[in-house]
Amino acid sequence: MINDRFLKACRCEPVDCTPVWFMRQAGRYMPEYRALRAKHSMLELCKTPELAAQVTLQPIDRFPLDAAIIFADILLPFEPMGLNLEFAEGEGPVIHNPVRDHAAVERLSVIDGGELNYVAEAIGQARRALNARVPLIGFAGAPFTLASYAIEGGSSRNYLLTKQMMYCEPKTWHLLMDKFARVITGYLRQQIKAGAQAIQLFDSWVGCLSVGDYVEYVLPHVQLIFEGLKREGVPMIHFGTGTSAMLRQMRAAGGDVIGVDWRIPLDEAWEIVGHDTAVQGNLDPLALYAPLPEVERRVEDILRRAAGRPGHIFNLGHGILPTTPIEHVAAAIDMVHKLSARQVKS
Ligand code: CP3
């Protein structure tokens, strides 16, 4: 591996400068991505390994990022499980047959991963194209976040139907969470076998829960995934947003690296998580719209709070937005590397 500072930071080992990558680093803010999307749908890009690998490398060819993430989506396991998924233009994901009762949850298939072979194939191709320049991250959605899409039928504001199932039909809820946990464990294992050198579990919307509900309705299922993957030996990142109040519990659920969003200062988050665990974050993605001196002030602040301690991976607190100025992305990456450069004793 030519550049392994991301993997080192995941293991809390010292690095020459802070590694940086951005969630959604391959996407619509890049003209080369938009050009491909003009010819292919989102699902076509995901299901054609050559195209998915090509998109994965777009940000790596343009910026000195320290990790690549395979181009896919957390909702891809839905189709083989029996959920009818569509990425509607301008609307985001739509599930045409949402699960709302016990019978619907019973009907969901616990797939073994074979149906998602195209992701494994894309990982193999992306690894070959990367040629050891930077490590490749695999990923999946966490059970709560997947359940919210499966139940609501798309994005949601209040997670009304999700919480309704949780509170009114706890047996049905736990069965659904258990099915997702099993599918995701197998799917991530398959990605690791195909060449993913780290994995990230996205629990993007779990921050809508109280800590008590997290512990009761979510934590055991997430734990099953991390426990099931421990012996694979690759670093595991546990990400959520709006999770400042439940960082301790997320850490208990598992993961070598805990994702931190911008709502909490990085040093406070790291104190809660514990300095023996790595952290990833935590620039507000909207900060990339600020004038460059302001971007620099914020990057500097995060690095100051990380205090040169081993185990910090610089990232946004959530995915990069489609209208983000691309020069600011390039500038932010350079700032992270330059402002954090240090001597490493070997
Ligand atoms: O980070 C990367 O570069 C890898 C690719 C990636 C995508 N989705 C591609 C994508 C990753 C890691 C995801 C994860 C994902 N997908 C999450 C968790 C992270 C998060 O942002 O919270 C969620 C909740 C989804 C579900 C999803 N997929 C939504 C809500 C949307 C629509 C919103 C949007 O940004 O348009 C998608 C579509 C999607 N997934 C796009 C991309 C690049 C946009 C598709 C397009 O080109 O039109």
pLDDT beyond 60 at 152: yes
* C-beta separation of 137 from 184 below 8 A: no
Give the residue-averaged pLDDT of 140-169.
98
Beta-carbon-side half-sphere exposure of residue 278 (alpha carbons within 13 Å): 28
**pLDDT the model gives residue 90:** 83
The one-letter code for the residue type at 66 is D
Helix (H), strand (E) counts: the chain: 16, 9
The CA 72 to ligand 1 mean position distance, Å, reads 8
The percentage of the chain sitting over the pLDDT mark of 70, rounded to a whole number, equals 99
pLDDT beyond 70 at 345: no
The one-letter code for the residue type at 114 is G
**pLDDT the model gives residue 1:** 82
| CA distances from residue 39 to 33, 44, 45, 59 in whole angstroms, order as listed | 10, 10, 10, 19
Taking domain 5-345, whether its CATH number is 3.20.20.210 is answered by yes
**pLDDT the model gives residue 255:** 98
| Residue 320 DSSP symbol | P
Give the residue-averaged pLDDT of 276-302.
98
The CA 232 to ligand 1 mean position distance, Å, reads 26
The CA 319 to ligand 1 mean position distance, Å, reads 8
**pLDDT the model gives residue 46:** 98
Q: Is the CB of 319 under 6 A from ligand 1?
A: yes
Q: What is the pLDDT of residues 250-268, one digit of tens each?
A: 999 999 999 999 999 999 9
Give the residue-averaged pLDDT of 168-192.
98
Identify whether 73 is a catalytic site residue.
Answer: yes
At 236, is the pLDDT very low, low, confident or very high (cuts 50, 70, 90)? very high
Give the residue-averaged pLDDT of 141-166.
98
Helix (H) or strand (E) holding 49: helix 49-62
Of these residues, 33, 149, 187, 214, which one is catalytic? 149
Of these residues, 37, 251, 263, 305, which one is catalytic? 37
pLDDT beyond 90 at 241: yes
> Could you identify the atom of ligand 1 that is nearest to the CA of residue 26?
3
At 342, is the pLDDT very low, low, confident or very high (cuts 50, 70, 90)? confident
* C-beta separation of 41 from 47 below 8 A: no
d(CA 51, CA 71): 9
At 281, is the pLDDT very low, low, confident or very high (cuts 50, 70, 90)? very high
Q: What is the pLDDT of residues 74-119, one digit of tens each?
A: 999 999 999 999 999 888 999 999 999 999 999 999 998 889 999 9
Strand order of the β-sheet with 198-203 is 68-69, 136-141, 198-203, 236-240, 257-259, 278-283, 312-316
d(CA 214, CA 305): 28
**pLDDT the model gives residue 343:** 65
Nearest C-alpha to atom 1 of ligand 1 is from which residue? 24
Does residue 131 have a cis bond before it (omega within 30 degrees)?
A: no
Q: Is the CB of 92 under 6 A from ligand 1?
A: yes
d(CA 222, CA 260): 17
* Mean of the per-residue pLDDT values of the chain: 97
| CA distances from residue 73 to 20, 139, 229, 248 in whole angstroms, order as listed | 21, 8, 20, 27
Domain ranges of the chain: 5-345
